[in-house]
Amino acid sequence: MKKTATLLLFCTLFAFTGSAQQVIQRDPAISAMLAEVSPDSLRNHIDKLVSFGTRHTMSTVADSKRGIGAARQWVLSRFNTFAKQSGGRMTATIDTWMLQPDGRRVDQPQEIGNVMATLKGTDPNDDRIFMVSGHIDSRVSDVSNRTADAPGANDDGSGTAAVIELARVMSKYSFPATIIFVAVSGEEQGLLGAERLAERARTEKWNLEALLNNDIMGSNHSHDTRLIDNTKIRIFSEGLSGFETDKRAAGIRQYGAENDGKARTLARYVKEVGERYVDNLEVRLIYRNDRYLRGGDHTPFVNRDFAAVRITEMNENFNNQHQDLRTEKGVEYGDYAKNMDFEYLRKNTCLNLASLANLAKAPSMPQNVTLEARNLTNTTSLFWQTPKAGKVKGYYVLMRETHMPFWQKKFFTDKNGLTLPYSKDNYFFAVQAVGEEGHESLPVLPRPSMR
């Protein structure tokens, strides 16, 4: 018989107003990790990446001081250094392969590689993986120009530096689930490294629950509107992936679930947890996969039905992206570190850390979440089964009105079911597992049960 609890006075309610929680609970251990993220350290990472002259995907891999080969070897050396403080839990490698000419942005055979550090989870029964990425390659105006200096300080030195800094800090701590830190290659030539990694995750059947892709996240000002703001960050998320959408279209249309795909659910989670831990930072949810005329390394994962989002600064300066280094009519063009705000980059790196740590410390998601839909009622009954991994203190049932972009209320219960005095016709619901220390899993939207 299914266990359920009726909401009267027996559940703890957390209400949300706008983007801020009325009740804020921070894990002191996560706060301590955030305190270790350093703007000076991030600046040093970027200065070193810039020092390689160009990190173009098709640049030299033989030179020890210049080009993409030297850059990725340096990132690997940093990961190996951090591994020494991990108690044997972190390992690092470069996943290399050979590109062949494609008639577009690859004109000759070239060795390419994703630099990866894996922080193994401590729970042998927990096979979950959480991944964070930034792309190591850079470019100038001509995407095929492999010899000109291409500093790539912000695009995407910022994302790569964040990944390195996260590995530096988090390698000293343990988490039940596994975290992978990746400096992806070949983004500017067509998301090549991300395509390989996403396909590898699919074919090897990784239990990859979330990917946070960081691309252009360290500048606080635009070039045309002259807006300056280091208090907001954007998260791009697709409502529905293209993966087998045709097979699920009928149910999505019937129940209005077009705004609750895996990526968008992850984006809401990052917003809630990030704003809980990072002061003076507002996470803006952008309801599209990416910007106009641009693409990112999260997309190959979204296309394979993984939860993946893009994290990008609020105001982009396009004079500093994909530009030859020059000055025209008094305007300097080029992706230099001097155009960045390292305190802003610190906050955006902390957004990643808080989200990854909270996810990796939480139990896995509740299983077989259902919503009773066989009767016409003005209440809502939900049921679920215990997660596969992790120690569970209880569960949050999340609720929002159908027109609202983020969850408005949380109801806590220690049972495997809950009946609420709210009509299922008027709200969306989800369930997340809560660990003994209060860390929440990703939410799971229920499937209607007619039995």
Q: Per-residue pLDDT averaged across 195-206, rounded?
A: 98
pLDDT of residue 2: 45
pLDDT, tens only, 115-159: 999 999 999 999 999 999 999 999 999 999 999 999 999 999 999
110 in Cβ contact with 185 (< 8 Å): no
Calculated CA dihedral for residues 135, 137, 142, 143, nearest 10 degrees: -70
C-alpha to C-alpha distance for 212 and 307, rounded to whole angstroms: 9
- The set of long-range contacts for 293-298, using a CB threshold of 8 Å and a minimum separation of 24, is 295/191, 296/187, 296/191, 296/213, 296/215, 296/236, 297/133, 297/135, 297/184, 297/187, 297/191, 297/193, 297/194, 297/213, 297/215, 298/194, 298/211, 298/213, 298/236, 298/263
pLDDT of the residue at 196: 98
Of residues 91 and 222, which shows the higher confidence score? Answer: 91
Taking only the tens place, the pLDDT of each residue in 380-402 is 999 999 999 999 999 999 999 99
How large a percentage of the chain has pLDDT more than 90?
A: 87
317-340 pLDDT, tens digit per residue, is: 999 999 999 999 999 999 999 999
DSSP secondary structure code for residue 36 in this structure: H
Is the pLDDT assigned to residue 248 strictly greater than 80? no
Q: 3-state class of 297 per DSSP?
A: coil
Q: Is pLDDT at 7 greater than 60 in this prediction?
A: no
Only one residue has tokens 């020059």, namely 326
User: What tokens appear for 181 in the block?
Assistant: 């830190």
Q: Tokens 């952008």 label which residue?
A: 286
Residue 23: the pLDDT is: 52
pLDDT tops 50 at residue 18: no
Report the 10 Å Cβ neighbour count for 3: 11
Provide the token pair at 377: 């009622």
For residues 291-295, give the mean pLDDT: 92
Band the pLDDT of 225: cuts 50, 70, 90: confident
Tell me what the mean pLDDT of segment 55-66 comes to.
Answer: 98
Please say if the pLDDT value at position 251 is more than 80: no
Residues 6+ away with beta carbon under 8 Å from 367: 384, 385, 386, 387, 388
- Rounded Cα distance, 384 and 366, in Å: 6
Q: φ, ψ for residue 239 (rounded to 5)?
A: -65, -40
Using DSSP, state whether 440 is helix, strand or coil: strand
Q: Does the pLDDT at position 19 exceed 60?
A: no
Task: State the pLDDT confidence band at 8, using cuts at 50, 70 and 90.
Answer: very low
- DSSP assignment letter at 441: P
Cβ-based neighbours of 438, under 8 Å, separated by 6 or more: 25, 27, 393
pLDDT tens for 401-451 read 999 999 999 999 999 999 999 999 999 999 999 999 999 999 999 999 877
Domains and CATH numbers, the chain: 28-361 (3.40.630.10), 367-449 (2.60.40.10)
For residues 296-304, give the mean pLDDT: 97
pLDDT at 423: 95
* Of 19 and 160, more confident: 160
pLDDT of residue 246: 74
What local confidence, expressed as pLDDT, does residue 21 receive?
A: 35
Query: Across all residues in the chain, what is the average pLDDT?
Result: 93
| Token digits of residue 400 | 């929002």
Nearest-5° Cα angle at 292, 287 to 297: 75
Q: Where does 151-307 show beta strands of DSSP type E?
A: 178-184, 207-214, 232-236, 282-286
Q: What is the DSSP string of 67-116?
A: SHHHHHHHHHHHHHHHHTTTTT-EEEEEEEEEE---SSS--S-EEEEEEE
Assess contact for 16 and 399: CB atoms under 8 A: no
